[in-house]
Chain A
Amino acid sequence: EDQVTQSPEALRLQEGESSSLNCSYTVSGLRGLFWYRQDPGKGPEFLFTLYSAGEEKEKERLKATLTKKESFLHITAPKPEDSATYLCAVRPGGYQKVTFGTGTKLQVIP
């Protein structure tokens, strides 16, 4: 059974204080790993897709990396507008189902 575990559940940072969010996964033949951002009362918004170990993607203050067992979302010098819940999801090879983690709720304090 595919599993996605995200840590920590919640993270509080001072503005400018860099940190990383973790996504550990167990999946039969990873087809893709995805990061989404979800603001309160809204649907998740796509951020990144990673396909193979060693791959990295960047967008503004966010950088996602992938190993064979986990992915990290690095947040450099965060701003209050980066406050949101960050979701990780995986798609196994040969299947069209997607399994999500429970998310990390990030709060960035000015």
Chain B
Amino acid sequence: EAQVTQNPRYLITVTGKKLTVTCSQNMNHEYMSWYRQDPGLGLRQIYYSMNVEVTDKGDVPEGYKVSRKEKRNFPLILESPSPNQTSLYFCASSLIPGEKLFFGSGTQLSVL
């Protein structure tokens, strides 16, 4: 079954404690991206990747890092989380960059 898998589904942490949200896809897609979803602001793109070792900033990259060492994996790293990063995060992938995105189930992050 074609899918994008994110882990964990829920995460509660404290300010400054480094965390990683994992994302993996099994469709051999070259394009992967991360979004955060906040009430009233919609989905905003954090980072995207066109292929292995090729990443670029989206609209809200501050405070986040990504890496793309393998085609199937695209982890999101928060090195020093802050409360304003409390949000619902989605990973997505697609065959054509930015088109017909397949989304994961989301990670609800709370930073206390």
A interface with B by C-beta (< 8 Å): 31-32, 34, 36, 41-46, 49, 87, 89, 91, 96-103
B interface with A by C-beta (< 8 Å): 4, 31, 33, 35, 40-45, 48, 50, 56, 58-59, 90, 92, 97-106
B interface majority secondary structure:
strand
A97 touches B45 (CB 8 A): yes
B33 touches A98 (CB 8 A): yes
Q: Report chain A residues within 8 Å CB of B99.
A: 32, 34, 49, 91
Q: Report chain B residues within 8 Å CB of A43.
A: 4, 90, 92, 103-106
B103 touches A96 (CB 8 A): no
A46 touches B101 (CB 8 A): yes
Residue of chain A at shortest CB distance from B102: A46
B106 to chain A, nearest CB (A): 6
B106 touches A42 (CB 8 A): yes
B101 touches A87 (CB 8 A): no
